[in-house]
Structure 1
Amino acid sequence: MKIISSFILLISLSFLNAQEVAYQGEWDNYSRWTTFEGSWKIVKSENGHKLLLGDDFEAKKAPDLKIFLSKAKLDDIGSKNALKIGEPVLVAKLTNYKGKAAYDIPSSIDVSKYQTIMVHCEEYNKFWGGSDLK
């Protein structure tokens, strides 16, 4: 009986930790001069959404990399206009350059209104890359 109770508890805990994936994809590197690759997903959380970077994530370090959501299509975004079109909103400052990481998306952001997730170096106005929200 103790084994069955432990098994039921384990199954219950795994369902509590399951996260509903709202969007997921692979990063598209914009520049051949930077490293920017790997997977990501946006999951629903208690307070809204959370961005999760995969084990395979890797980005070349830069002084001011930030994650944004944009209403513009990825194909329309470049270094000169990344923060000028698509009403971009700041999600978080990129603090991890390799491997898994998690970033809370502010609850004031309605993720469903955006088409693209992107990373941009604000200090040098350099677009690292992005991905379509799908």
Structure 2
Amino acid sequence: MARLEHLNVTVADPDAFAAMLGRLFGWRVRWSGGAIHGGRSVHVGGEDTYLAVYAGPEGPGGQTPPADSYRQRGGLNHIGVVVDDLDATEARVKEEGFKTHSHADYEPGRRFYFRESGGIEIEVVSYA
């Protein structure tokens, strides 16, 4: 069976975004360097899967995300991350200054969402 190795997402500042993911989820930078169109990419994650976070040559800032990604074909709706301890992760998210929302208990787990400072929504879920 095939498996998903990575996603590539354009962000305002790949180094800052990767550092935030490291603090929240314990991920590490696997690679960083120059990328397409004179931009910069940082690969952050674990041994088998990662996010490639990219910014073009315009550097931090760039374009703002669409108001409603669910109405844009090819839009990024959210990034889903599975954690063992949802409550501890939510505490770290709040310590980073992010507001959590859309909490739900559902079969087979629990979840919440937050938007990072660049507007990308992240779903955090636990099946424990």
Q: TM-score normalised by the shorter chain: which range applies?
A: under 0.3
TM-score, with length taken from structure 2: 0.25
TM-score of the two chains, using structure 1 as the length reference: 0.24
Larger RCO: Structure 1 or Structure 2 (Cα < 8 Å, ≥ 6 residues apart)?
1
- Which is helix-richer, 1 or 2? 2
